[in-house]
Structure 1
Amino acid sequence: MSKLLHVLPIPPGSSVVSVLPELTRALDGSSPPLLPVPDGDAKETNRLTRALRPGEPIDDVADDIALVMATSGTTGVPKGALLSPRALRASGEATHRRLGGPGSWLLALPAHHIAGMQVLLRSLLAGKTPVVVDVTAGFDPGDLPAAVEAMSGPRRYTSLVPTQLVKVLEHPDATAALAALDAVLLGGAATPPPLLRRALDTGIRVVRTYGMSETCGGCVYDGIPLDVATVRIDDDSRVLLGGEIVASGYRGLPEHSAFAEPGWFRTDDAGSLAGGRLTIHGRLDEAISTGGLTVVPEVVEAVLAEHPAVRECAVLGVPDDRLGERVVAVLVAAPGLVPTVEDLRLHVGSVLDVTAAPREIRVVDAIPLRGPGKVDRIALREAWSRP
């Protein structure tokens, strides 16, 4: 008999620890399936509940579900990844094995998203209560030193997204605090190479992670799958992820093509494997077709990020009568520097085909994000189309 899906309100700030007993029951399979939603954010809660229908039975095909984790929703409509207790435990335990053993965790991400939720679950598996940085009103790196000081040993970890790391590196005390940790998992979006080098140069032990709600979060660390995960590349360069960490499917979508092959999840990412190490090249559904050629935004972004005048950037294609789409860039400038489109085109053209170089740029104060750290390209395109 199917169980009903229940809402699990996730309180803000340090009050989030109040959900740990319910999550303990979820991990041991004794709770009903739970849909985490942000307590106090009525708009986001309504969006998630409309799409994922708490109060209705969970799918019969996946009756052992602990959590229904909302995807980041590139189309604006989230799907619900059905995660079993076994998959969640496998993910957390494999993470600890890869990092060198269980430890204390610092939560600095919204816990209704998979990356933040995994901090709570890994804390439970380690027998620890997480230390919490309140990000309700935004991430303040100035909160990190005291939070790190409050963490117990012998091993200490946290999980961040690249935009948070950018802020940390502008704050010397926060940088020193992160460098004291045994590992800083960094995921949710691609990490620009200059940002990674800066962090490593300060002594921060960054571990880049790749994964999604459908794989219980990160399952590939620094290009190498966890010991409970498997990676393969399809004929069209698509990345497929398999293993114990794969979701049982999507809520209400039993025939979804992403789970057509039992035990595997078909991502929307293009990648390659060399020597057992995975490299992600970008999303297949975000490729730009310009003048009959294909441009992958993430590849261009990685080159732009190397320019000294670029602090953050996002590349997208916008309609063009002649080219079909033209490549444009939205960027946050480095302090005191004013990039020009001519400089950036020369910079990109020195590394990639000039077709990939942005034909226009717009400088903004901040790049819009969806979920924890992912570029909101829908919002960027809508903003670009406005005069």
Structure 2
Amino acid sequence: MDRTLNPAATAPTNRSAHAVGLAEWLSRRAARAPHRPALSCEDVHWNYGELVDRIECMSAVLAAGGVGAGARVGYLGLNDPMFVVVLFATARLGAICVPLNFRLSGAELSFVINDAGVHTLVVGEEHIAVIDPVRTTLACSRYIHRGAGAPGWEAADALLADAPPVPPAVPVRADDVSVIMYTSGTTGHPKGAMLTHGNFWTNNLNEMFLWDMVSSDVTLNFAPMFHVGGLLCGSMTTLLAGGHLVLQRGFDPQAVLDAVVKHRVSVSFGVPAMLLFISQHAGFEAADLSSLRLVAVGGAPMPEPLLRLYASRGIPVHQGYGMTETASMITFLHPDRSRDKLGSSGTPPLMTEIKLIDVMGDEVTAPGATGEICVRGGNVMPGYWNRPEANATAFTADGWFRSGDVGYRDAEGFLFVCDRLKDMVISGGENIYPAEIESVLYDHPDVAEAAVIGAPDAQWGERVVAVIAPRPGKTVTLEGLREFAQSRLARYKLPKELRLVEALPRNPTGKVLKAKLREHDAAATRKG
């Protein structure tokens, strides 16, 4: 038949958009090499053909329960092959996946699940006990347990074993929402960032071009996949490239080192705290890490001492800066510039743009001048789920996403992220960026972890407070910290107060919860 006479065959917008869809590109990749290893996790080892078979079966199970285009499917559980299956099965139906933070309480999960309007909830066995007490508050239509079954839950194993016929894949457009990822919500309720199929596609291409991802790559993911770092920093790109994705259910430094050796891992991602804990593990020095061709890091500023340590092991660290709202990547610093651009987060990838604006909204272009970082590109979300008031302030009038981060660019255009606007300390009229001070404090031989916050000060407005977790058996004093840092920091940046803790409070992705630190500091001040 002459396809030029068939209207359906000449709809380039629908065809090209459909190819961008998560389930479509994975299906095409699997068809090219179905026998190549695709996914491993503990005793599970699937090739691409087996992975797609399970995705198609799950799409049949979900569709039979009423999931259709636009419906939301929630997943609550540790990293697991079932999460990957649910993600792509949901996309295959034109529905929306909602990864849920497994560290939240039942009440917190209830808010997120109802805010997203989750139709079908899939839960791992470790978290049934969190959901059962709040089920009466949920508006879900169906509850599936990943495993053999539990009272009041449908068993995923049985459903998949007796799955109905596989339904046709639903065509999607690039701007259709594929995933709603909820921000950490350190203040107020979390917001759901709507990430589209096009957002995923753009981020995948950005990473593929920057990291030279190929089908021979083996990527280790130990970051939680309910977070944009675990889901998008390497994991999806590996599958698009036809590589082998190795999942770990949670983060454990010894398990990471063992997996790198066992699978000859070439690519991995972590936040600075994870890399710090790995480096402090007793097995770090002896482990054969020679297969690693890159470790990507993001989520927080990378302390300079940690960069130097990994460089001394011959491990290239690719520093990145990204957000949930931008489907991860905003800028990227290649290791070959890490020495002369120490502290920079790099430049935007191929398909993303940035600019800086001042408090009046005017663009800041002078080298060294600070401004709020704004982002534009195919990886930027269209907005927050059911949050018109937040969307009104999240974007500039001409469509740039406002990150809420402060940064500056040098003469070559390399971005340096100073800090979050809300974390900046203003003392005596001077803007002080905690990340700069923290990087210096991490160099102290007796400091295991460091965070800097601001506290109210009657004379200066705010004062710098250092929150330190000392190394085991070591002692840290305020005088010692100030003496150590005074040659590298201006006097007004030196800590005026010291709080000692056993460990810094962090969210599941490793970010320091500075709001909690400020709350504790305020409580300690009141008691004092």
1:162-173 counterparts in 2 under 5 A?
162-171=272-281, 173=283
Pair 1:245-2:379 in alignment: yes
One of 280, 289, 292 as aligned partner of 1:181? 292
Pair 1:111-2:174 in alignment: no
Q: Is the 8 A contact 1:187 1:218 kept in 2?
A: no
Q: Is the 8 A contact 1:106 1:131 kept in 2?
A: yes
Q: Is the 8 A contact 2:273 2:511 kept in 1?
A: no
One of 92, 95, 108 as aligned partner of 1:32? 95
TM-score normalized by the length of structure 1? 0.87
Letter in 2 for 1:7: V
Quickly say closer, same or farther: Cα 1:203–1:335, change in 2 above 3 A.
farther
- Kindly provide the CA deviation profile for residues 42-65 of structure 1, in whole angstroms up to 9, marking residues without a partner as x: 535335325544359xxxxx9710
Greater shift in the superposed pair: 157-166 or 301-310:
301-310
User: What is the match of residue 270 of structure 1?
Assistant: 406
- Kindly provide the CA deviation profile for residues 276-320 of structure 1, in whole angstroms up to 9, marking residues without a partner as x: 311111111211222333322122212222222222211111223
Quickly say closer, same or farther: Cα 1:219–1:177, change in 2 above 3 A.
farther
User: What is the match of residue 6 of structure 1?
Assistant: 72
Pair 1:291-2:458 in alignment: no
User: What is the match of residue 59 of structure 1?
Assistant: none
User: What is the match of residue 72 of structure 1?
Assistant: 184
Pair 1:257-2:379 in alignment: no
Letter in 1 for 2:96: P
Deviation at 1:358, TM superposition (A): 1.1
Quickly say closer, same or farther: Cα 1:38–1:371, change in 2 above 3 A.
closer
Deviation at 1:368, TM superposition (A): 0.5
1:198 and 1:251 map into 2 onto residues whose CA distance is: 41
Letter in 1 for 2:443: E
2:258 and 2:477 map into 1 onto residues whose CA distance is: 40
Structure 1 unaligned residues grouped into runs of 5+: 57-61
1:209 and 1:298 map into 2 onto residues whose CA distance is: 15
RCO higher in structure (CA 8 A, sep ≥6): 1
Letter in 1 for 2:78: P
Letter in 2 for 1:266: R
User: What is the match of residue 206 of structure 1?
Assistant: 317
1:359 and 1:292 map into 2 onto residues whose CA distance is: 16
Q: Is the 8 A contact 2:69 2:94 kept in 1?
A: no
SS at 2:329 equivalent: strand
1:230 and 1:341 map into 2 onto residues whose CA distance is: 42
Letter in 1 for 2:463: R
Structure 2 unaligned residues grouped into runs of 5+: 1-67, 120-138, 140-173, 334-345, 360-370
Quickly say closer, same or farther: Cα 1:5–1:174, change in 2 above 3 A.
farther
User: What is the match of residue 49 of structure 1?
Assistant: 113
Deviation at 1:329, TM superposition (A): 0.8
SS at 1:166 equivalent: helix
Q: Is the 8 A contact 2:465 2:498 kept in 1?
A: yes
Q: Is the 8 A contact 1:178 1:184 kept in 2?
A: no
Deviation at 1:22, TM superposition (A): 3.5
Deviation at 1:71, TM superposition (A): 1.4
User: What is the match of residue 212 of structure 2?
Assistant: 100
Pair 1:221-2:358 in alignment: no
User: What is the match of residue 333 of structure 1?
Assistant: 470
Q: CA RMSD of the aligned region, Å?
A: 2.6
Quickly say closer, same or farther: Cα 1:172–1:267, change in 2 above 3 A.
same
1:356 and 1:329 map into 2 onto residues whose CA distance is: 11
2:396 and 2:288 map into 1 onto residues whose CA distance is: 44
- Kindly provide the CA deviation profile for residues 81-126 of structure 1, in whole angstroms up to 9, marking residues without a partner as x: 1111011011012212211123322110111111111144223313
Q: Is the 8 A contact 1:10 1:111 kept in 2?
A: no
Runs of at least 4 residues off by over 6 Å: none
Identity of aligned residues (%): 32
Quickly say closer, same or farther: Cα 1:39–1:7, change in 2 above 3 A.
farther
2:422 and 2:317 map into 1 onto residues whose CA distance is: 28
- Kindly provide the CA deviation profile for residues 148-206 of structure 1, in whole angstroms up to 9, marking residues without a partner as x: 244377xx211111111111112354463545212111111111111111111111221
2:435 and 2:491 map into 1 onto residues whose CA distance is: 15
Quickly say closer, same or farther: Cα 1:309–1:39, change in 2 above 3 A.
closer
Q: Is the 8 A contact 2:73 2:95 kept in 1?
A: no
